[in-house]
Amino acid sequence: MRPIKLYQIPQEWAAVEDAIEAAGGEITPEIEAQIVALMGATKDKIIGAAVTMRNYRIAADATRDMAQRMSAEAERVMASANKLDKVADRIGAAMLPAVEVTGKVQTPAGTVYKRVTPHYAFELKDGCNWYDLPSELWRQREPELNKNKLKELAQSDRLPEAILAYKTETTSICLTNPKTKDDQNDLNDQGDLHASNQESCA
């Protein structure tokens, strides 16, 4: 998907966008090499990369919003289907007394008959122990570590001795959103970046 062109990008980055679109939205090794070749430790080089990154973030957000709207619509349609099923179930329940008298009935819509389906519920008797039962009659989830709590303990150097911790770090580039419409215009006209409370990180 080609990103929304909220910001004008340099011609060389437009060529990168064309290549990404031709590759089905993926960055191939060749395209990655093309991107690396455009990078440089100068303000102009960073501006070109930043506005291109921003356009892709905007397109991603728009696509995500679309997916959420489609998901909400799918839930609404599924709820309607469930209501229709409930109506059919109520009609079937209303037919049950009559079918118990008539027995099987052939209709243009199919054969109507009564079916008995057994349902079971089980519980352990008071005073009995799970471990007294054969192991195939019960199951228990394997214990797992509470990663959120362990992270808190690791950050404060309070991990229990029985826990091994492996720490890795990820370094990323963050791009703040322009604060005002004027800032966005400045970014389009001058390629300048302005700080705000919102960030886009890669």
User: E strand or H helix at 111, and its extent?
Assistant: strand 110-112
Sign of CA dihedral 197, 198, 200, 201: positive
Q: What pLDDT is stored for residue 201 in this prediction?
A: 62
Q: Splitting the chain (202 residues) into consecutive groups of 10 residues, what average pLDDT does each group show?
A: 63 88 91 87 83 88 93 96 95 94 93 92 89 87 90 91 90 77 53 44 62
Q: What pLDDT is stored for residue 1 in this prediction?
A: 53
User: E strand or H helix at 9, and its extent?
Assistant: none
pTM of the model: 0.58
Check: CB of residue 200 under 8 Å from CB of residue 175: yes
Q: What pLDDT is stored for residue 192 in this prediction?
A: 41
Q: What pLDDT is stored for residue 133 in this prediction?
A: 87
Q: What pLDDT is stored for residue 27 in this prediction?
A: 92
